[in-house]
Structure formats: C-alpha cells, structure tokens
Amino acid sequence: MKKQVARLTCLGLLLLVSSCRSNSSDTNAPIEITLSGWQSNPNESKLLTKVINEFEIKNPNIKVKREVINSQYMDVIRTRLIGEVAPDVFYLEAFEAPTLMKSGVLEPLDGYIKPDYDIKDFEPSLINAFKRDGKLYAIPKDFSTLALFYNTTAFQNANLKQPPETWAELTQFAKRLTVDTNRDGKPDRYGMGVAPELPRQLFMIKAFGGTLVDQQNYASFASPNGVKGLQLVIDQYRRDRTVAQPSDVGANSNSEAFGQGKVAMAIEGAWAIPYLKDTFPDLKFATAEVPTINGKKGTMAFTVGYGMNRQSKHKDAAWKLIEFLTSKQGMKSWATEGLALPSRKSVAAALRYDRNPLYAPLAAGAKYATIWQSGETLPTVMTSFDNQFVSALLGQQPLKDAMQKAQDTANREIYLSN
C-alpha cells in the first residue's frame, strides 16, 4: 500500500505540472471511451446497458466500451492508473477515494458542472465523501445504509409484535428467537447474525462517543468509549450465545444466513432485498431502522461514485457520460432494481423508496449514517481491526486487549509509512 500511494503521488505531481484539460476530437469519427466497474446483479447490468444505449443515441459521436471487473477491482484500477492505462470513467468507492484524491490521478469535476445539473439534489454527505480541499472528484451514483432485517414468521412464533427499538430490546429479542431443538449445544437458529468486520461495526464504536481515528488519521478505536459499543456484540456472541457469524452456520454471508433461516435478524443493506426475494422466495421478512444505542440512532452508509481519469484523452466525452448516468433521468432509469438507493433526493422520492416498507428504514438512515470512509489510513486500520476483533469474538483474548493490540499494530504501520 505504501509503495502504491507513493507511486500514485509521484504520478499526481507529474500530472499537476503537465496535465491540461483535453478536448474531444473535432473529427466526425466516433470517440470511444471506457467505463469500468463491477457487476453486482445481472438485472442491474441490463439496466445500465440500456441507459448507456440511450446515451449513445443522444450522443452519436461517442461510443462507450463497458468493462466489468469483478475480481480485485480497486487493485486493477490502481495498477492501471500507475501504468497510465486506466479507463476514462470508473466506479470509485468512498472507502478508496481519499488515497486517489490525494494522489492527483482523478480529474476535478467542478469545472464541468453547470447550474442545470442541480448538484444540490444529491445527499450532501454523499457529495462530501468525494471532496478534497474544496474540489469534487466523483459523482455518487448510489448508496445504501444498513437496516435491521427480521424474519416475521419467527417473530410471530416468539410472540413478538414489532421490531426492537433499542439495543437492549434487540438483546432480549435475540434470546427469545434463539431456538435449539436438537440439544447439541448449538442452536438450530440464532437470534441474530453478525458480520465481524469494521465496515459493519464502526457505528458501534461511535455509539458511546468513541472514534475510529484521530485528527492525524492514527487509529483511536481502543478507547474505553469505543470498546464499550463493541462489547455489546461480544457479549451477545460469547455470553448469551444468541448471535452467530456466517461461518458458524455454514453460510457465506449474513444475508445468506438470514435467508436460510439460520438467524432470525440481521443488519444488512439494500442489496439484500432483491437477493432475498430472488433466492428465498418463501421467506417472509421486514425491515426496521437499526435499534438505538445509548439513546442515539446509528447506521453505516456505503456509496460509490463515477470518477474520471485525469489522463483521459476525451475528458469532455467522459463528463457527458457521467452527467447522463447521474442525471435525474439517467439515475431513475437504472435505480429501479433496488440493489442500492439513488443518490439524488428527487429520484428517491420519485421512485417512492421512502414509502416502500422494505426500503423506508434504509432511506431514513441517510440522515444520520456514518459514511464508510476515513482518510488514506483506513485500509491499514481496517485490516488490524478485523484480525483482532474476530479473535475477541472467538474468545481468544479479551476485547480490550484485542483492540489495543489492533490499534498499536495499525499505528505502527501508519508511522512507518509516513
């Protein structure tokens, strides 16, 4: 990571000296630009292809070559940026954005945006995720928060009338929903599933005033306030034995464990809704906002934007594509699949996501969610956290010790990389 950032930084400095905004060719020959991203769902891919076709009809002098990269996506993009062969436009996760924005390999988009584009229609927190030093480097295409998914049949059988509103209630509900009929010491169904990774636990760190990193981007999650929120999950798993991680029940993900009926509740994102409907059509489930912790609402928000390669030879054409895909019309065309929520407030309202019982809790979370992003050191912090948090979850060491070890390891690596 250190070498990649250094190389990207060097490339960025060269670009700052030599780069200038290049205009598309004036010849009649069609310009070809490349759009790279991943494919989450075949139906979503078909919708995106449809929108791109509409773009090409409106812009007959521009052809879009779509490239799907599903394996180690950001590693591929970083390597191509270093090798100066990156696509013109590409998906950019907020998680990865700080490093690339700092390195100068992204084209600032502010100069391309016109008043009628209505940039204020986007959720402010999503726009801010792609800003650095007052400049905007990507346009958020969509996002998802986390919500509580619960099995309504299991709730009925346990005589639970409504979803829990507080984490204390959730803890009690998880006990009532845990079922062991074989008496083998391992429940046939756990009350709740947990994904033991930092992207799903950051809001727990913040619940009692903890912080992930300090002002210098050094890890700070091992504070007493940070550990206090995480301890809630550890206690459910170790003491109550009402919570399972996917590997405990032979599942690949929290969504799969929930769909198979092996956990009665799970905290998941919008992507789980079409997956559950398609893969487990007999499952009856509902969603609710994540229960409050310490009297405060909390959840996570994950967003992806369209970024432009600063070395693109067809920047005007690249912007036209980004503008079309993130326009009200373009966004509405492909956002109907429901894998994520549209980043434009007007499109979300037009598609009535705030009135859809399954999506409304996810939409509501946008107002108070923590964006999954925290500076260039986040990959290092995440790796150290995940390794030690799983160790504490399995009872190999106390949570406090595990978090201190994770924090020390991360900060040592951050220090050496500076």
For residue 211, give every residue at least 6 positions away whose Cβ sits within 8 Å of its Cβ, in sequence order, or none. Answer: 205, 220, 221, 223, 226
pLDDT, residue 387, reads 96
pLDDT, residue 277, reads 95
Domain topology for 145-300+374-417: D-Maltodextrin-Binding Protein; domain 2 (3.40.190)
Residue whose C-alpha is closest to residue 93's, from 338, 403, 320, 382? 382
pLDDT, residue 28, reads 72
pLDDT, residue 180, reads 82
- The SS3 of residue 113 is coil
Query: Positive or negative, the Cα torsion across 267, 272, 278, 279?
Result: negative
Q: Residue 149 is encoded by which pair of tokens? A: 């998914």
Strands 300-308 and 370-371: parallel
Count of all residues that appear for the chain in the document: 418
pTM of the model: 0.89
What's the gap between Cα 170 and its chain centre?
24
pLDDT, residue 5, reads 46
Strand ranges (E), 152-202: 192-193
CATH 3.40.190.10-classified regions of the chain: 2-143+302-371, 145-300+374-417
Give per-residue pLDDT as tens, 87-130: 999 999 999 999 999 999 999 999 999 999 999 999 999 999 99
pLDDT, residue 13, reads 44
What's the gap between Cα 386 and its chain centre?
16
Helix (H) or strand (E) holding 74: helix 73-82
Question: Going residue by residue through the chain (418 aa), what tens digit of pLDDT does each one get?
Answer: 444 444 454 444 444 444 444 444 445 789 999 999 998 777 778 888 999 999 999 999 999 999 999 889 999 999 999 888 999 999 999 999 999 999 999 999 999 999 999 999 999 999 999 999 999 999 999 999 999 999 999 999 999 999 999 999 999 999 999 998 666 668 899 999 999 999 999 999 999 999 999 999 999 999 999 999 999 999 999 999 999 999 999 999 999 999 999 999 999 999 999 999 999 999 999 999 999 999 999 999 999 999 999 999 999 999 999 999 999 999 998 887 788 899 999 999 999 999 999 999 999 999 999 999 999 999 999 999 999 999 999 999 999 999 999 999 999 999 998 8
Q: CA 60 to CA 65: how far, in whole Å?
A: 14
pLDDT, residue 103, reads 93
pLDDT, residue 43, reads 75
State the alpha helices, DSSP H only, in 280-377: 315-325, 328-334, 345-350, 360-364
Q: What share of the chain is helix, strand, coil (3-state, %, to 5)?
A: 50, 20, 35
pLDDT, residue 183, reads 63
Spelled out in words, what is the top-level CATH class assigned to the domain 2-143+302-371? alpha beta
